Amino acid sequence: MANSSDILFYGLLFFIWFATTTFFRYVLKQRKNGSKQIRHPPSPPSLPIIGHLHLLGSVASKSYQTLANQYGPLIRLRVVSSSVVVVSNAAIAKEFLKNNEMNFVSRPQFGAADFNIYAGSEFVNAEYGPYWRFMKKLCMTELLSVTQVNRFVDIRRQEMMKLLKILVGFSEERKACDLGVELMTTTNNVISRMAMSTRCTPGLDEGRRLWEFVKEIFELSPKFALGELFGPIGKLDLFGYGKRVKALLSKFDSLVEKIMVEHENELNSSNKERKDMMDILLEIHGDKKAEVKLSRTDIKSFLMELFMAGTETVSVALTWTLAELINHPKVFRQLRDEINTVVGSKRLVQEFDVPKLLYLQAVVKESLRLHAPAPLMFRRCGEDCKINGYDILANERIAFNVFAIMRDPSSWDNPLEFQPERFMVGSKVAYDDYQMDLKGQNFNVFPFGSGRRGCPGASLSLAVVHSAVALLVQCFDFTVHGGEKIKMEEGSGLSAGLAHPLMCYVTPHLNPLELLHLS
Ligand code: HEM
Percent above pLDDT 90 for the chain: 63
Q: Decide whether any atom of ligand 1 lies within 6 Å of the 310 Cβ.
A: yes
In contact, 466 and 318? CB cutoff 8 Å:
no
How many CB atoms lie under 10 A from the CB of residue 114?
12
Q: Which long-range contacts (CB under 8 A, 24 or more apart) does 269-272 make?
A: none
Give yes or no for residue 285 having a pLDDT over 80.
yes
- 32-36, 90-94, 164-168: the lowest-pLDDT one: 32-36
| CB 449 near ligand 1, within 6 Å | yes
Both 236 and 121 in one domain: the answer is: yes
CA-closest residue to ligand 1 atom 3? 313
What pLDDT is stored for residue 58 in this prediction? Answer: 85
Note the ipTM here.
Answer: 0.99
pLDDT at 1: 44
Which region among 214-218, 263-267, 332-336 has the lowest average model confidence (pLDDT)? Answer: 214-218
DSSP secondary structure letter of residue 126: P
pLDDT one-digit tens code per residue, 460-473: 999 999 999 999 99
CA distances 79 to 48, 56, 72, Å, are 10, 9, 19
106 with 184, same domain: the answer is no
| Run of H or E residues at 508 | strand 503-508
- Answer whether 450 contacts ligand 1 (Cβ < 6 A): yes
Dihedral over alpha carbons 327, 330, 334, 337 (to 10 degrees): 100
- 206-251 pLDDT, tens digit per residue, is 667 777 877 788 777 777 666 666 666 666 677 778 888 888 889 8
Residues 335 and 434 in one domain: yes
Domain of residue 148 covers 117-373+407-445+447-518
Last residue of a domain, one of 384, 406, 428: 406
Question: Which pLDDT value is given to residue 210?
Answer: 77
- Candidates 200, 503, 509; CA nearest to 349 is 509
Per the CB < 8 A criterion, the answer to whether 312 and 185 are in contact is no
Q: Which atom of ligand 1 is nearest to the CA of 373?
A: 5
Give the confidence band of 2 by pLDDT, cuts at 50, 70, 90. Answer: very low
Greater pLDDT, 413 or 427: 413
Based on the fold, state whether residues 320 and 435 are members of the same structural domain: yes
- State whether the beta carbon of 373 lies less than 6 angstroms from ligand 1: yes
If you count them, how many residues does the chain have? Answer: 519
- CB–CB of 477/171 below 8 Å? no
We report the CATH number of the domain holding residue 302 as 1.10.630.10
28 lies in the same domain as 128: no
Is 399 in the same domain as 304?
Answer: no
Same domain, 415 and 399: no
Q: Domain containing 92 — which CATH number?
A: 3.30.43.20
Q: Is the pLDDT of residue 19 over 80?
A: no
Q: Is the CB of 124 under 6 A from ligand 1?
A: yes
Annotated binding site: 455
* Residues 173 and 278 grouped into a single domain: yes
pLDDT at 194 over 60: yes
Looking at the CA of residue 305, tell me the nearest atom of ligand 1.
35
Angle at 322 between CA 318 and CA 326, to 5 degrees: 170
Q: Are residues 307 and 379 in the same domain?
A: no
pLDDT digits (tens, 9 = 90+) for 144-175: 999 999 999 999 999 999 999 999 999 999 99
Total domain count for the chain? 3
Q: State the greatest distance between any 2 C-alpha atoms of the chain, in Å, as a whole number.
A: 77
For range 404-411, the mean pLDDT: 96
Same domain? 221 vs 322:
yes
- The verdict on the CB of residue 218 being under 6 Å from ligand 1 is no
Q: Is 456 in the pocket of ligand 1 (CB under 6 A)?
A: yes
Same domain for 468 and 365: yes
* Dist. CA 310 → ligand 1 center (Å): 7
Out of 159, 379, 455, 495, mutate this one to test ligand 1's pocket (max ligand atoms within 8 Å of CB): namely 455
Q: Are residue 399 and residue 473 in the same domain, yes or no? A: no
